[in-house]
Structures are given as structure tokens and as C-alpha cells.
Structure 1
């Protein structure tokens, strides 16, 4: 077993706290993001900028405004001619066969919002709520829902003023975003659903008045259902989860580089020839990125292993090490598909009914199910399973660092002082292990758990929002599991650094180690570890490892 001295660790501590970190972009952006909506060109980079911006300026494109106005006029003529239309002059759900008089139709819009605003639980993060409103406005901009351009203007005036409705996340069955968007709708018309502005929760009218916007807004016939019947909230939450998953992938890659160097791992598992033979581009890219992280390493060599006391060749490392490019490649592939799905959904008419221009003139309503979130829901279930598996992999690698046998000689439990007198980091890893069964339970696919509601009128539901809640909770858990991984990996590096002498770490590994040591100091004698875990978790959550991982991807090894 390698036995670092207390003096050596003190020297490491001094070096670690003065090393310049690779830097990390904060998820938030101080720039005002300007967007024009036409219902057809909202792309992934724009979505993420809206998600992270401090402020946005969004407006409706002139061509979309004209199309919306024409469709609205055609819809009103069609209804006036006697066509019975769900949500316009007919009631909803089990009461769909109940006609609405002309006098009832405007009042009905308010009552739809009031009756459907029955959600509960935590509110959506303000940036996700804002993105949901932008997505809803963009779907309306396609001109197939029959709403006025003025409704989009009202939505965007709230967005531009920094007003985010308080939208409870529990209630949606994946059959449209009925409950959360109904809450947003009440804020939009100036009723009593609260909003967030400048970090404070206030009454909607107070925020509207402070922003110099009209305190009330009247929905006209047929406008409540397009506002609430769609997948914009689900899509916004999915976009946020995809973005978070990408940062988690960077954090795992950073922690894996620390693990590889601390255990002086074999590099053969990342040979490009092996991965090219598998013919999965995302896997090949994952292996390339790992090679880039450890580029220039002298620790992961026969010389490095001999210096640390290994007399015989390693041959190969454990399955978890050799299979990591495959696991990360699969996740990369899933995230690529997920981004495509979100962009398609962001530029689609997700409501019921829709209205189309007839080839021979005039307009007709078509009743359908475009609010259904089945595709997104099943994708969320799949992503959640992979996020849970990444957590299992991360926790397992952390566990290997604690065992002198599996870490190839690191002190037991990564203790910095005398082993036995000091228990090291074992309980931090145990805490991560405690999160794993929670992650596995939350990864149960809710998309297989449909429940009929509303007297059988809505007899199949995707439960996609339940899937989304499970994924969001697991991403929170994964932040902590990955935080433990990078914390233990950095400790492993420090414990062996004296033995490795002049041998160099890989470029990316050294940068990641510097990021960790800016916030978390090496462990010498035992201390209260909760603050360390929380600091390491914050590094993951804030995307602190994205910059060093991206920078490593541009080094000389990246092309190999």
C-alpha cells in the first residue's frame, strides 16, 4: 500500500490551493437573448440560450402574425356558419356534447383556466416556466390553433418583463400540460395565480402593473384550450433535463479521468481501433474524449505502474473501466436524439383542435390528439434509465478507490492521515451508495403506468410528467453522486502524487484536479465531510467541469 506522509500531503495542499483552475462557464448568461418566433425555426442553441439567459426579448415575426390573423378570421367564420367545435362552442372532456351559447363562449375561457388550475407541489424553476411560455408562443405562431396574435403578444410581454407564472409541477398526465399551463393562464389574464419577478413571488396584477402592462387580458372564444392543451411545459422540462444531462456527462468524464490516473489504469481500453470496429460514432467520440483528458499522462504507463509498486503487467482493468466508452456513447446517442425531438416538438402544433385552410377556400377544424406526449415520455424514461446507470457506474468507481486491492495500493478509505485512526472518505462514498436505490426506483418507466380518467373520455394517458419528475429528481441525485466521484478521485491523485515523483498527469486531468482543489481541499486528518460533499456537488451542478473537458478535447491527442 502507498503511504504518503503528512508532510507530503501538506505540500500537496499548498500546491493544490494555488493551482489555477481550468475555469467553468456559469449556466446563466448576463446577455439579453433576442428571439423572433415564426413557429418553424426555433433551434436547440436558441432554446438553451433562452433557458439560461438573465433576460430575453422575444417577439412574433410579421409573417406569423399575418398568418395567425388570417386563420383566426377563418376560424370565426367557420364557427359562425354552424360548425360545432370542441372548446369553442362545445364544452370539454366528458361534457364535450354540451353546446355553448355565444354569450357563454368568452366566460367559458376563464372557467376552463380556473377549473384546470388544480396542480400542486413544487413550482417549476422560473427559467423553465419562461421557456414553456416561449415554446407555447412559438407553437401558436404556426397559425394552426386559431388564436389571435394578441394572445402571443400577451405571453411574450410577460416573458420580456421577467414575469414567470408560478406553475405547480404535479397534475399533468402527459395528456397536454393542462394544470401547469392553466395556472400560467390565470396569471396571464390577471387572476389570482402568483408570479415570480425579480426573485420575489407577488400577485400577478402587482407584477403586471409594475411592468407597465395591462393588469387584465380577456381570452376570446377558443383561446383557453390552445393555451393549455399541448406539451410545451413537458418540452421545456425535457430541454432542461437534456441540458443538465450534458453537464453531468462532462462531470463524469472529468471524474473518470481522475479515477484513471489515480489507479494508473491501462490505456488500451480507449484505443480508437477497438471503438471504430464497434461502428457507433458516439462511442468512438466518448473514447476520443477520454484519451484527450489523459493526453500526456505518465502515470497511466508501465513506468507509472512500476513506480507505484506494480511488479507485473496489469493486462486489463475491470469491466467498469473498459465499458465506460460504450456506456457514455449510448448516453451521447440518446441525448442527440432527445435534442432532435425537442426541436421538432418546439416547432409543431401541439393542441386540439387544429384548423386548416381548405384547398378550395375556407377553413375547417380537425379534432385529434396532437397534445399527446407519448414520444417525449418514452424518451424521458429511456434517458432516466441511463442517468440511473451512470449513477451506478460513478458510485462503483468511487467505491473501488477506497479499497487498496481495487485501487492498486491507495490507502484504505483514502485516509490522508494514519489509517485506522482516520476513517477517510468511506462515509462520503456510502452516502452516494444510499442514493443509488433511490435512483433505480425513480427510473421505473412511468410510461407503462397509464390510468384512465374523466369518465373514460381520456382513457389512455402517457404519464410523461411523472416520468419527467423522476428524471429531474434523479439528475439532482446524480449531481451528488458525481460530486463524490470527483472529490474521491482528486484525493486519490493527491495521496499518490509523492510516489509518482516527476511523472506528469494528463493535461485534462490536471485541469480538472485544479478545479476541484479551488473549492475542496485535500483530506489529511478526518474532518466534517458534509461541507466538502456539498462543495463538490455544486461544482457538478454549476457545470464547472465543462470548460476543462472541452479544452482537453482540442489538444493534440484529441485527433488520435
Structure 2
């Protein structure tokens, strides 16, 4: 089903759908809005009023005039000068997310680009043209280096991947897709760059992954509770009761407590005659609070992403109502960057508690390991400990960073750095949760128990039926099982 970009505010789900291959349609209202926005730019050109990036240069040259005769060349130089990214190329999915967010930004009416240029970005998505976009280069005052690579391909320059994954010239990739290069009109050289499209686009993919990890974390804990309950009197479910969750009052706590209760519905832990400890260690007992914090942080990050998706972040911003182009700083993405920072911190807490549960399982598995009846290597626990140590480092603030060029562009949010660290944190947290699930399943197997919870039973079978794999392959397979 295509994503229709119209008057309604776009969502993170729209970005994820476009990244995953959905086609895009510009509603007629959107085309009209783009035309009205462009008309403001045309009037500014005719009036000769000084406007940054239109008839004035960029950065420290902001007050130097761009002569009418050099406007076309100025657009080309602007794109070429901003192609300063380095590092590995974004994946196809990530590149699509970047293109999608810049296209969404056009449709909010603040960019002043022509409808034809917006249609060219939509065509890039629909044709599956995948620009080569180096991951690093932006400091979070608009993702300039990322967007310059997209603009280069749209204009017939740059580089792109062909169907086989080989890198080809951008013009060749357009021709193979049946598309024509676009020549940028005055102001469009800056307008195509004026967006935090990497931070918002790839951030949307990251927050969707974080939401999935919150669900996976609850399932891992449910399996751990069944495991410790089968091995002894642990696994007290009172900490997950609706009574305790409502006494705490956190929305995320309520959701996680309910999810774990639902996963354990029908399990042996619910038997009223079962001998059970008064209360479990904190790494078990405070899961709803810890996982609830993750869920609430995910919601906050989604709100910040969707605020950015609905915003007119360009500089200068085209204001249709007043007919003016106004310089400002809506590209400053600090609220979003801080949400990324907070998400990394809470992931470190989630993983730290998970590693402690794995350690408890590992201790209980010592006799089975000594007898040679386990298949999970004892040293797999070290991998979890190593990941948690790295997560603690990744949780440190990244946004209090450097100044940039001259005395003009002298502060930036560093949102892209905060996001790159978040992506690493997500990967490590997934590994730690998978290691917990593997240890829990191993403890159940050693106890001779078969979990019967609504979700723990299928989860145990999914892990138990995995083939004998090396640890490096076993952990991703277990994480996939957690995400069923």
C-alpha cells in the first residue's frame, strides 16, 4: 500500500514503510502547497531582496551577493561543496529513510522547492535508486553531507548502487531506472540540504527497533521467570501484578507488567499451591519499572521524531502566509538528540539487569556444565558482561561536542553521533537479551521442565529447536526467536 503524503502530519510508521519499500504518492493538496511555497521564492527573486542561500552566499559569506548570472552554477557548487561525508555507506533501507524524510520535509511547505523536484525524490524511492551515502559527516545542524549525496544523484552526478550492488555513476543509475536528471532552480541547492533527514529517517528505524526490543525484553524475562521457578522456589509473580503496577503509576510499567503476565498465562508459576520465595532479587523484581522506563523513552523519542516530521526545519523557512523567506534555526535538533541520548542510557540499564539474570542462571547451571550436558558455552556470559561494559560507555553524553566552521556555524546538536551510538547500543542490548533467553532455556532443559506459558512455551520451543551452532550464530538466532 502506498504512503500518501498529504495535509496530515507524517508518522514514524510512514518513514519505516517507505524505508521498507512502500511507494509514495503526493496528494493534490501537497502539490498545490509546493507550488504556493515556490511562488514565495520566485517573488523574492523578482524583488531582489537579500535572502540567505538564494542571492546571498552560505556560511561566513552570508552577506556576499550571488549574481543572477551565476545562480545555476551556485546550485551545483553548493551540492559539490557539501559532499564531504566519509565512512561506510548507509544500507539501502537507511538510504530510503533519508530520501523519504527529505521528501516529507518538502511537503510541509517550508522549503520552496518546485513540485517537479519533489516528484523527482518520490520517483527515486519508487524506482528503488539507492544513492551511496557515507554514514559520517553531519554534526546535526541539518544533515548536509548525507543530503548532498542524494541531491547529487537526483541531478545526475554522485554515485549509486545498481541492482547487483555495484557502485555506478548517479546518472547511469537514473538512466537504468528510466529517470531523468533534474537541474536545480535558484534556492534549491540549499533547500535540498536543509533538513535533519539522516537523524530523523534512520532515527525512525532505530526507535522502531527499540520498541521491538522492549517486547523482546519482556519475553526474555518471562522465560527467565519460568526457568528459575522450575529450578527452585523463585519466580514470584507479585511484582508483576496489576496492583503493584497501578501503585507505581507509570504507563510503561503497566504495559510491561501486563505483557509479562500475559506471556506467563497458563504457566506453572500461576499455581496457587506452589512454594515460592517472598520476593526475588531486584534484577527480576523491578523489571516492570526498568522496562517501563524503556517503553516511555521510546514514546518520547517517537514524539520528537514526529514533531520533526511535521516541522518546517529549513533555513530560510518559506512562510506562505506572509509571503516571506525568514532566516532562523529550526534545523537545531537538540530535543531529538537528547532523546537519543536518553534511549542509550535506559538500554544500558535494561541490558545490565538482563546480564545479572543470566549470571544467576549460569550459577544454577554449574552442575549441568560440570556433567557436560549443556550446549550453551559457560563463557557466553562473558559476552554479555562485555556488552554491558560497552553499553555503559555508550551511555555517556555525546551531544556536548565541538564547534564548527568559523564564528558563524559555532554550535551543533551532534544528533547524528548520538544516533550512531544508539544504533550500536541497540545491537548490543539485543545480544544481551538473547544470551539471557539462551541461559533461561538451558536452565529449563536442565530442570526437565517444559514451560507452558502462552508465550514462554513457543519461545522455549523456538530456542530449544535451534540447531547446534557456534555462539556467534546462536545468539542472533535466539534474538530472532525472541522477536516472534
Shift of residue 197 of structure 1?
A: 4.0
Shift of residue 332 of structure 1?
A: 0.9
- What is residue 366 of structure 2 aligned with on the other side? 412
**TM-score, normalization: structure 1?**
0.81
SS of the residue corresponding to residue 350 of structure 1 reads coil
Matches within 5 A, 1:408-447: 411-412=365-366, 415=369, 417-418=371-372, 425-447=377-399
The 3 A distance-change label for structure 1 pair 423 and 247 is closer
Question: Which residue among 529, 534, 543 is the counterpart of 2:473?
Answer: 534
SS of the residue corresponding to residue 454 of structure 1 reads coil
1:354 aligns with 2:317: yes
Take 2:325 and 2:333, find their aligned partners in 1: how far apart are those partners? Answer: 21
1:164 aligns with 2:127: no
- What is residue 338 of structure 1 aligned with on the other side? 301
Question: Which residue among 391, 401, 406 is the counterpart of 1:455?
Answer: 406
Shift of residue 102 of structure 1?
A: 0.6
- Aligned residue-pair number: 479
Take 1:195 and 1:106, find their aligned partners in 2: how far apart are those partners? Answer: 27
1:235 aligns with 2:200: yes
The 3 A distance-change label for structure 1 pair 179 and 504 is closer
Question: Which residue among 326, 338, 341 is the counterpart of 2:289?
Answer: 326
1:391 aligns with 2:356: no
Question: Which residue among 416, 419, 422 is the counterpart of 1:468?
Answer: 419
* Contact 1:413 1:426 (C-alpha < 8 Å) held by counterparts: no
Matches within 5 A, 1:17-166: 33-38=1-6, 40-52=8-20, 55-166=21-132
Which range is displaced more, 504-513 or 235-244? 504-513
Take 1:255 and 1:339, find their aligned partners in 2: how far apart are those partners? Answer: 24
Matches within 5 A, 1:208-227: 208-214=174-180, 216-227=181-192
* Structure 1 alignment gaps of length 5 or more: 1-32, 306-312, 405-410, 522-528, 548-560
Question: Which residue among 267, 281, 287 is the counterpart of 1:297?
Answer: 267
Post-superposition Cα deviations, 1:225-253, rounded to whole Å, max 9, x if no partner, equal 12112112110111111111122122222
* Contact 1:482 1:537 (C-alpha < 8 Å) held by counterparts: no
Take 2:462 and 2:109, find their aligned partners in 1: how far apart are those partners? Answer: 49
- What is residue 16 of structure 1 aligned with on the other side? none
Which range is displaced more, 63-72 or 93-102? 63-72
The 3 A distance-change label for structure 1 pair 108 and 413 is farther
Shift of residue 47 of structure 1?
A: 2.8
1:400 aligns with 2:352: no
SS of the residue corresponding to residue 135 of structure 2 reads strand
CA RMSD of the aligned region, Å? 2.1
Post-superposition Cα deviations, 1:65-92, rounded to whole Å, max 9, x if no partner, equal 1221122123212222121111111110
Which range is displaced more, 505-514 or 66-75? 66-75
1:275 aligns with 2:245: yes
Rg larger in 1 or in 2? 1
- What is residue 495 of structure 1 aligned with on the other side? 446
Which range is displaced more, 68-77 or 173-182? 68-77
* Contact 1:483 1:533 (C-alpha < 8 Å) held by counterparts: no
Shift of residue 304 of structure 1?
A: 5.2
1:515 aligns with 2:462: yes
Take 1:300 and 1:196, find their aligned partners in 2: how far apart are those partners? Answer: 56
Post-superposition Cα deviations, 1:24-66, rounded to whole Å, max 9, x if no partner, equal xxxxxxxxx41221264323433332233xx322122111112
Take 1:514 and 1:230, find their aligned partners in 2: how far apart are those partners? Answer: 46
Take 1:518 and 1:201, find their aligned partners in 2: how far apart are those partners? Answer: 40
* Contact 1:34 1:58 (C-alpha < 8 Å) held by counterparts: yes
